[in-house]
Homo-oligomer: A and B are copies of this chain.
Amino acid sequence: MKIGIVGATGVVGREMIQVLEKRDFPLSELVCFASSKSAGVSLKFKGKNILVKELNEHSFNDIKILFLAAGRKVSEHYAPLAQKAGILVIDSSSFFRTDPAIPLVIPEINPHALASHKGIISSPNCTATIMLMALAPLHRKKRIKRIVAASYQAASGAGARAMEELKGETKAFLEGNPFERSVMPYPYAFNLFLHNSAVNDEGYSEEETKVIFETKKILEDETIALSITCVRVPVLRAHSIALNVEFHESFSVEEAQEILRKAPGLTLQEDRKEMRFATPLDASMQDTILCGRIRQDLYHPNTLDLWVVGDQLLKGAALNAVQIAEEATKLGITSKTSGSLVTG
């Protein structure tokens, strides 16, 4: 089975290559694509060098599964072409996520959604994925009525250059030197800012709108009320989320802990005595999502507070996409299992 990655030299693409290797994904050949700028770059996979090819419309020969990790515009253009060529597309961009005909999948949560695919499957927003890994098991037990969330998002969500810029700007700050930013619009060294995606007429950033929409789609519950504030913090690669969650019935802390202890892809880190709760550094480079600090809301019925942390590049992006491919393979899903084409 020949597998392709578009955006292979980007921060998510590079993680995908490592995830495919680490999980020993059953592939016969890995083909890496990037823009003309990065074509010719050599990437390591299982000890071999892979020469990155320039992506064009004739790139897809014999590929069975194509991961798209190069942003909305590339996905908009290439996903339908690959789909037409009979390739199963797993898209990490936001482009197809809002399309009701496109499954938006976190394999631990809604693998059944894969069945309705038409050749393109979307992998969700990183913040939504990390948050839902903890919330979905609780929602299954006692339905969620309302979520109030505040995020602490890492630089990695804005790409490799943002991570480098955070380090470079911080170094310059510590040395008292000037620094010229080229990625982030605001000072980032020892600073934080509201997520810099465009704000709509209601004052919500695109990131916040994505989390709200995707939560409802993945949990398949339009009735969930959700408010979120997305904030970019000077952390390299893991997102944290502070959650206040109201359920339709009462939920004891012990009951929630018990459910989360057993939930797949999740680790409960809840040590009040030693005061050890999950931090982004704990979650970095880890496949598992960390959660804990589960508290009963003291003043609002049926409501729990919790804290969730996860690696933005792994479960928040590359790992989830690869898991979708694994799940699809397990279910015997190929692009050919469904015939009708989709328009984005």
Contacts and interface: CB of A to CB of B under 8 A. Distances in A.
Given A187-B279, A194-B293, A307-B229, A202 B298 contact: yes
Given A275-B185, A280-B192, A298 B227 contact: yes
A293 to B, nearest CB: 6
Contacts of A192: 152, 233, 235, 240, 279-280
A95 interface: no
Given A192-B235, A305-B229, A146 B198 contact: no
Interface string A191-206: 1111010110011100
Contacts of A170: 170, 174, 190
A296 interface: yes
A277 B194 CA distance: 7
A170 to B, nearest CB: 6
Interface in A207-234: 212, 224-227, 229, 231, 233-234
A198 B240 contact: no
A231 B308 CA distance: 13
Closest 6 CB pairs of A and B: A225-B299, A150-B150, A203-B295, A229-B242, A150-B242, A148-B148
Interface of A: 146, 148, 150, 152, 166-167, 170-171, 174, 185-187, 190-194, 196, 198-199, 202-204, 212, 224-227, 229, 231, 233-236, 240, 242, 244, 253, 272, 275, 277, 279-281, 293-300, 303, 305, 307
